[in-house]
Amino acid sequence: MTRPDLALPDLARSSLARSNLDRRRFLKLGGAGLIAGASALGSSQALNRLALLDAGAGSEAVAYAPNGQLDQAIADAGLVLVVIELEGGLDGFNTVIPYESGAYRDLRGPGALDADNQRVLDDTFALHGAMPNLARRWDDGDLAIVHGVGIEENSLSHFTSVDVWNRGRVHSGDGTGWIARALDGAVADRDPLVGVSIGYLTPAMYGDGWSAVALPDDGALPWSASFIDRHPGIVAAYQQMLQSPSADDLSLGQRVRNSQHLVRSVADSIGSVTDLGSIVAAAELLEAPDLPDDVYVGDGLLAARLSMVADLITGGLPTRAYHVLHGGFDTHASQQASLPYLLGELDSAIELFHQALGVDAERVIIATRSEFGRRPKWNGSGTDHGSAGVQLVVGPRVVGGHRGEPSPLTRFDEDENFIVTTDFRQYLGGLTHGAFGVDPERVVPGTRNYLELIA
């Protein structure tokens, strides 16, 4: 299987091309071999794949379309939003650095980055030096940096802030998530696979009476109809018990039954549209012996998760939104030892993801989210919880450049944190409109001036 060359000549010619990836098992996640049947996966999906292509719903058709037809294909299949949640609170101040500012050096003291660890973007800002690939995308106009993003009535609690971001609302008893509401507006039917969360199901995808799908983040679970089918007693029992999942009865007991019903139907769908073998392989850490200097895979978790998403996108799932976790950003201590690696992993994982997507990269928008930024003032070895921070949006369709006003560097809120200049809903609204063509007022109401992020 060959793919057209991409606009990433160095990487495309390296051994990082997907077909040549040398993978090794990530030990912490080992144990897949203990699961009976794991070795039997990955076969017998050919027929279903053909059926999908006939139906014309898959991105295989997009992937091999001549360029002239690509726009139409995207118009038909829609853009795909991949949200990367930077868990713990990204330190925007050391990610996008106002390198000419004396205030930056004063506030950060020993935690301030020197010139060797910066990639200058323009007269005012530099990107953290651990992100050379994103710096190049900035030059290409494919990276938007969104400044001053936060929740106006800021909470310094991880869990309260995460909850507000997930709901896309403040002061609301509405338990649905913003991505689920956006998908309600974007697609006519509620096939659960319109939203896929890698790992646990993000509450941002909690729908009103429907559930999006969570898939294992290590690819180790045998998600296949054939696995269940090997146990005819279970099949018969479930046929008997799960004939009519109820959306009305919301008792926990009924939810247990509904969840097993969802497993069954998703296993069927996944098995029919993707090469399961490649998903299992995505659990294995990417390792390329001649990795270029500017690609750093780190623990490989994010790269593996995004590799799995790439498989699902190129495999033709009807999914319009993915959610992926990248943890470890709660850098109260030892920030100098951890942040470069976290950002390097992000930078490289995005690069490898684009590589794996091939021409499907044209229809994919990558957007970060993080519950809050961090305290401007250094605490001795790291940074405590803050308010406003930066978010990044990446992709060929992204309108590159600075978005939103940077927070002032000399005037803070009552807790000595950056002042929010971009309401988080302006950001989520921009993604809603840009990726799904849905009116943000229907999804993240209560603010104005939604950002223009995607052309």
Partner 1 sequence: MAPAATPRNVAHLLRRAAWGGTPAEIEHGVDIGIEALVDELYDVSAAPSLGEPKAVPGLYNFDVATLANWFVRTNASSSTPAIERLMWFWSGHFATSLDKVNTPDLLLLQWLTLRHLGLGRFDDILKAITRDPAMNVWLDLWLSSVGNPNENYARELMELFSMGESNGYSQADVVSAARALTGYGLEDLPGTGDRPVAAKLEPSRHDFGDKQFLGDIGNFDGDDIVDLIVERRECHEFIASRFWRRYAGTTPSGAVLSELGDAFGSRLRIDDLLRAMLTHDAFYEDEVHEGLICQPVELVIRAVRGFEIELFDDERLTIEEANDQFDADREAGTPTFFLPWGVTSLTRMMSQEIGYPPNVAGWPHNESWLDSNRAAGRLMAGIEFGWGLLNVQHPVGTWLLDNFDDTPALTAELMSRFGVVEWSEETDAGLTAAYLPNDPYQTVISSIAVVFTSPEVTLA
Site for partner 1 in 266-285 (CB under 8 A): 266-267
Does residue 111 interact with partner 1 by CB under 8 A? Answer: no
Phi and psi, residue 147, nearest 5°: -100, 155
Nearer to partner 1, 374 or 403 (CB): 374
Nearer to partner 1, 45 or 133 (CB): 45
Minimal distance in Å, beta carbon 142 to partner 1? 32
**Local structure of 189: helix, strand or coil:** coil
Q: Which of 99, 125, 223, 450 binds partner 1 (CB under 8 A)?
A: 223
Q: How far apart are CA 132 and CA 399, in angstroms?
A: 19
Nearer to partner 1, 31 or 141 (CB): 31
Nearest CA-CA partner of 363 in 419, 265, 256, 435: 435
Q: Which of 15, 101, 118, 260 binds partner 1 (CB under 8 A)?
A: 260
Nearer to partner 1, 40 or 237 (CB): 237
Q: How far apart are CA 112 and CA 271, in angstroms?
A: 49
**Local structure of 206: helix, strand or coil:** strand
Going from the C-alpha of 368 to that of each of 34, 74, 87, 338, 411, the distances in angstroms are 35, 22, 10, 18, 26
Q: Which of 4, 56, 102, 380 binds partner 1 (CB under 8 A)?
A: 380
Choices 164-172, 221-229, 306-314, 347-355 (CB under 8 A): range interacting with partner 1:
221-229
Burial 405-440 (b: 16+ CB within 10 A, else e): ebbebeebeeeebbbbbbbbbbbbbbbbbbbbebeb
Nearer to partner 1, 335 or 407 (CB): 335
Do the Cβ atoms of 188 and 325 come closer than 8 Å? no
Going from the C-alpha of 282 to that of each of 222, 276, 353, 397, the distances in angstroms are 13, 10, 12, 26
Does residue 257 interact with partner 1 by CB under 8 A? Answer: yes
Apex 373 CA angle, 372 and 379, nearest 5: 125
**Local structure of 193: helix, strand or coil:** helix
Q: How far apart are CA 284 and CA 54, in angstroms?
A: 32
Q: How far apart are CA 299 and CA 103, in angstroms?
A: 34
Does residue 247 interact with partner 1 by CB under 8 A? Answer: no
Does residue 211 interact with partner 1 by CB under 8 A? Answer: yes
Q: Which of 5, 10, 22, 31 binds partner 1 (CB under 8 A)?
A: 31
# chain residues binding partner 1, by CB under 8 A: 62
Does residue 34 interact with partner 1 by CB under 8 A? Answer: yes
Minimal distance in Å, beta carbon 380 to partner 1? 3
Residues in the chain, overall count: 455
Q: How far apart are CA 268 and CA 228, in angstroms?
A: 10
Q: Which of 12, 112, 263, 399 binds partner 1 (CB under 8 A)?
A: 263
Question: What DSSP designation does 418 have?
Answer: P
Does residue 173 interact with partner 1 by CB under 8 A? Answer: no
Nearer to partner 1, 136 or 255 (CB): 255
Q: Which of 160, 226, 272, 336 binds partner 1 (CB under 8 A)?
A: 160
> Which helix or strand (DSSP H or E) is residue 386 part of?
none
Does residue 385 interact with partner 1 by CB under 8 A? Answer: yes
Minimal distance in Å, beta carbon 114 to partner 1? 21
Choices 17-25, 136-144, 376-384, 446-454 (CB under 8 A): range interacting with partner 1:
376-384
Site for partner 1 in 45-104 (CB under 8 A): 87
**Local structure of 223: helix, strand or coil:** coil
Does residue 330 interact with partner 1 by CB under 8 A? Answer: yes
Q: How far apart are CA 398 and CA 101, in angstroms?
A: 28
Nearer to partner 1, 19 or 251 (CB): 251
Nearer to partner 1, 11 or 267 (CB): 267
Token pair of 420 as six digits: 């929010």
Does residue 312 interact with partner 1 by CB under 8 A? Answer: no
Residue located via tokens 């961090």: 374
Residue located via tokens 């807790």: 415
Site for partner 1 in 395-424 (CB under 8 A): 414-415
**Where along the sequence are the contacts to partner 1 (CB under 8 A)?**
31, 34-36, 87, 155-160, 192, 197, 199-201, 211, 213-216, 221-223, 227-228, 231-234, 236-241, 251-260, 262-263, 266-267, 330, 332-334, 379-382, 384-385, 414-415
